[in-house]
Structures are given as C-alpha cells and as structure tokens.
Structure 1
Amino acid sequence: MHKKIAIKKMLVLAFALFITTSSYAWGPIGHRVVAELASRHLTPRAQKAISDLIGTETLAMIANWPDFIKSDTTGKYKHTNNWHYVDFPGHISCEEVHKMIADGKASGEAYNQIVALSKTLKDPKASKEDKVFALTFLVHIIGDVHQPLHVGRDEDQGGNKIAVQWFNTPSNLHRVWDEQLIDYQQLSYTEYTNWLDRAPAQKIKEIQKGTVIDWLCESHVLADKVYASTKDGDKLSYRYNFLFVNDLNSQLQKGGYRLAQVLNDIFK
C-alpha cells in the first residue's frame, strides 16, 4: 500500500511541477515529443508492461519529472544531477567515444544510467516503485542524449557557458537547443509528434539500428557541428533556425523511435 501511495505521489508531483518549474533538457515539449513518439511504436507486450507500472498515465506526461526534481531542496535527488549528460572532448572519433566509456573517462553518467535503469526494469525482483522510477528516468535520459549538447563538451558545460542572444533575448547555446529552438516551431507536443511520425517502416528500422554508444557518438558529431556554427556572443534568429531545424527534427524523431526500441527490447 505504501509503495502504491509513493508511486502515485511521484506522478502527481510530476504533473504539478509541470505548471510551476522551468525546464533543463529539450524543454517540456521536446521530451514529450520523444516520449509520445515512442509510445506510438511500442509492441503490445511493452504497452501492457508499461501500463502495469504507470496505469493510465502516459510516457509523455512522466518524461519531464527528472528535470522537475532538480528544484527539490531536500537533496534527495542530488545524486541524479549528472545522469542527464555524457560529455567528451571535441572532434573525437567514434572509436574514442567507445574507449572513453569503456575506460570510465567520460564526464557524466547518462550512458551508465541507461544500462543500469534498463537492468532494473528487467529485474523480476525489483519493486514496482523502483521500476516506475527507472522507467521515468530512462524515458527522460534517452531523450537527453539526442539533444546534441547533452553529449557535448565538459569545459563549457554543454554550451551553458557560451552566451548568445536568441531573437535579441540573452540566452546561452545550451538553452537555445534545450527549448528555444523547439519553442520557435510553435507546435504543441502532439502536433509536433504527428508531423515527425511519418517515416516509413524501413527508415524506422534504420534509425533503430546500432547501440546506445553509437547513438551517443552520432549526437556528439552533431554537437561538433553546432559548436562550429555558434560562437560566444552570437546573435541567433531566423538564419539559425534555417541552419538547424532539420537536425533538430531528426534528433527528436530518432530519440522517439530509439526509445521505443529500447523499451520493446526490455519488455519483450
């Protein structure tokens, strides 16, 4: 009974904080797009397993909870702060990305937590409460690692230290990619998902190929492109959207289809 109450409180908190708290990664719309897109490509078995965990709640509505809890002042979730990213030096090869992860030299825990959370969800001995927590974070982190600056460079905190202006409003490179570029599209998360979810089956299979580390490497390569095109003090507006909107949409689409693949593999 106590576990059921705790789970319910966690989900209610996620909804309540949606109204009052600022975002940190992809922004609420981006994370909901990834989660909603994934939910449309789940197998019946995965759908049932997820429903058994979160009931009538949706992946889209739990997707932002790991960001909302950053406002918690008790310190209860402080250990999760570095779960949202994994940084590497610029312009390294995919082989070097693999080696840095294998050697434990990457900054940030996103990859390690994807592995650990997946194991929790597969563990028949794990409690329902632990599985809900794992599912919520896994949905979120898979979204995070498709935002290129969450697989960016440690020295500038994934672009947080690169000051820019977005349509004459002071901002930073990380925030532009987290939310401002997405918000500029002026779409609700369901409208955005409907627009992205048009790929033929063969393309979806191609997107879902590879390992999580391969996906991280892909995001890091895009991060290099972003860094090369954006400098401290730049004034970003219409042209920036023109340059990167296709990359933005591609990353959201990949995040959604790949999240579906991860969840289908877990609950097969």
Structure 2
Amino acid sequence: MKIFRKFGAAAILFCLPFTTFAWGTNGHRISGEIAYSYLTPKARLAVKQILGNESMAMASNWADFIKSDDSFRYLYNWHFVDFDKAMTQAEMNDYLAKDTEVDAYTKMNFMIAELKKPGLSKENKLLYLRMLIHVVEDVHQPFHTGHKDDKGANDFKLNWFGKPTNMHSLWDSELIDFQQLSYTEYVAAINHTTTAQRAEWQKAPISQWLYESNQLAEKLYTDTKPGDNLSYKYNFNHLDILNQQLLKGGVRLAGVLNEIFK
C-alpha cells in the first residue's frame, strides 16, 4: 500500500503544471553537481551523512517533487522572493533588512542557522539540507525575484519555436533542454572557474544574489514583449547569462555548505 501511495504521488506530480517550478529538473541537477565538486572533504562527509546514498544532484529536485504532497504545501513560498520593480542595491538591502515574510530570503537564513545547530534532529537535518540546496539554486533563476503581479513571469505568455509557453518556464527548463545535454554533460561543459572567481562569488551575501537576479529579471522583462515568438536568436543572446546563473548557483551553494559544515 505504501508503494502504491508513492507511485500515486509521482503520477500526480507529472500531471501538475511545471510553470510553478524553478530551474527544471536538469537545471537543479546541474547546479547541484557543480556545488558538490567544490565541497571541502569535511562538508562532503557531512552531506553524505545526512543524504545517505542520495547525491546532491538528485536531492536538489526533492523540493519540487513533493509539491503534490499536501503535508509539504507550507514550503511553497520558500522558493522565491517577488518584487514589484527593479531594485537599487540600497533599496534591496533596505527591503531585506525589514523582511519578515515567509520567502526564499528569510528561509535561507533560517535553514543555514538551523543546520549549524549541533542538536538538530536527523529528520530536520534532511529536510533543511534538501530545501537549502534547492532554494539557493532557485534564487539564481532570475524570475524567482520577478514581479508579484505576473507570478514571477508565469503569466508572461510567449512562444518558443512556435509553441505556447511563458517566460518563467522558458528560463526554468526550455532554454536548458534546448542544449540537448544530460546534466553531467552540461556540468562538464560549463564548470570552469578560477579560485579567484569562486572566492568573489562566494563572499557575496544572499542580498547580493537576489539583487543580481532581480537586475537580470528586469532586463529580461524589457528585452521581450508578451506574445513574442522566440527561437535561435534568443538562445544565442541569452545562453551565457543562463550558464553563468547555473554556475553561480552551484558555486555559492558550495560556499554556504562549506561554511555550515566547517
């Protein structure tokens, strides 16, 4: 009966609209695999003790896979921080300093603090690690800092090679899938960083991640109109941005986990 329920939940999952997700399955796995490559030995051991045989790449999608389970619906708002406009750095810092909402910013800070506690239960360690992996990656998808009024560009309708879609889904998965690479092939193609570059990205506070994503989202909102039919040229013009965000998400996730498990 338990097996039947598990398969039933999976069946429901694949019937759900994917527009509610951030980075598609491959996108999360790409950033998760990149992050694992930059973990310290101590952090790798700690992650292994919590995840067991589940790799970080596989764990990175757990937060989306359980969206069909009513007992986890309270986690929905953990995935994003929506804004009404392009924020200056000062406006972003001021907003986040006063932020008490249930959102990606407050919950990342919460999970980081919890995972540092020595007495945290095994169950909560697993929940918070899976969620932290996922949410750090999420906020590097620009439209997880998008507009409230269009649900992070889910209501920004356009066409991709003549197929109806929306801006959020395009950046979640369709641009990534268009490269026709497995997640391991994708990682091999883009995971080339210097020590200095990693140090620069990892020293940035979470507020800086959100600021960068918000600025990218605003640029992407303005260089495309609802109803546009996008194809090869859009891919050519935006692939470097996509790859950098996937790479930054992985590198910064590694930095967070190395700090937690130092």
Work out whether the TM-score is over 0.5.
yes
SS of structure 1 residue aligned to 2:71: coil
Once residues 28 and 63 of structure 1 are traced to their aligned partners in structure 2, the CA distance between those partners, rounded to angstroms, is 8
1:1-268 → structure 2 map (5 Å cutoff): 17=10, 21=14, 23=18, 24-72=21-69, 75-104=70-99, 109-268=103-262
RMSD of Structure 2 on Structure 1 (CA) = 1.9
Contact 2:13 2:68 in 1 (8 A): no
SS of structure 1 residue aligned to 2:90: helix
| Structure 1 stretch displaced more, 114-123 or 140-149 | 114-123
* TM-superposition CA deviations, 1:82-137 (whole Å, max 9, x none): 1110011222201111111122277x600111011111211111101100000000
Once residues 176 and 247 of structure 1 are traced to their aligned partners in structure 2, the CA distance between those partners, rounded to angstroms, is 13
* TM-superposition CA deviations, 1:225-253 (whole Å, max 9, x none): 11011111111111111111000000000
SS of structure 2 residue aligned to 1:146: coil
Kindly report structure 1 stretches of 4+ aligned residues shifted beyond 6 Å: none
Structure-2 change in CA distance of 1:80 and 1:140 (3 Å): same
Once residues 200 and 17 of structure 1 are traced to their aligned partners in structure 2, the CA distance between those partners, rounded to angstroms, is 40
Contact 1:42 1:264 in 2 (8 A): yes
Once residues 11 and 34 of structure 2 are traced to their aligned partners in structure 1, the CA distance between those partners, rounded to angstroms, is 19
Contact 1:88 1:97 in 2 (8 A): no
Once residues 160 and 180 of structure 1 are traced to their aligned partners in structure 2, the CA distance between those partners, rounded to angstroms, is 14
Once residues 168 and 130 of structure 1 are traced to their aligned partners in structure 2, the CA distance between those partners, rounded to angstroms, is 45
* TM-superposition CA deviations, 1:24-50 (whole Å, max 9, x none): 110000000010000000001101111
Kindly state the Cα deviation for residue 200 of structure 1 after the two structures are TM-superposed.
Answer: 1.7
Contact 1:35 1:139 in 2 (8 A): yes
Kindly state the Cα deviation for residue 195 of structure 1 after the two structures are TM-superposed.
Answer: 1.3
* TM-superposition CA deviations, 1:62-97 (whole Å, max 9, x none): 11111111122xx21111111110011222201111
Once residues 19 and 37 of structure 1 are traced to their aligned partners in structure 2, the CA distance between those partners, rounded to angstroms, is 30
* Runs of 5+ unmatched residues, structure 1: 1-8
| Structure 1 stretch displaced more, 140-149 or 83-92 | 83-92
The percentage of counterpart residues that share the same residue type is: 44
Relative to the length of structure 2, the TM-score reads: 0.92
Once residues 98 and 241 of structure 1 are traced to their aligned partners in structure 2, the CA distance between those partners, rounded to angstroms, is 32
Q: How many residues align?
A: 253
Once residues 125 and 167 of structure 1 are traced to their aligned partners in structure 2, the CA distance between those partners, rounded to angstroms, is 52
Structure-2 change in CA distance of 1:247 and 1:165 (3 Å): same
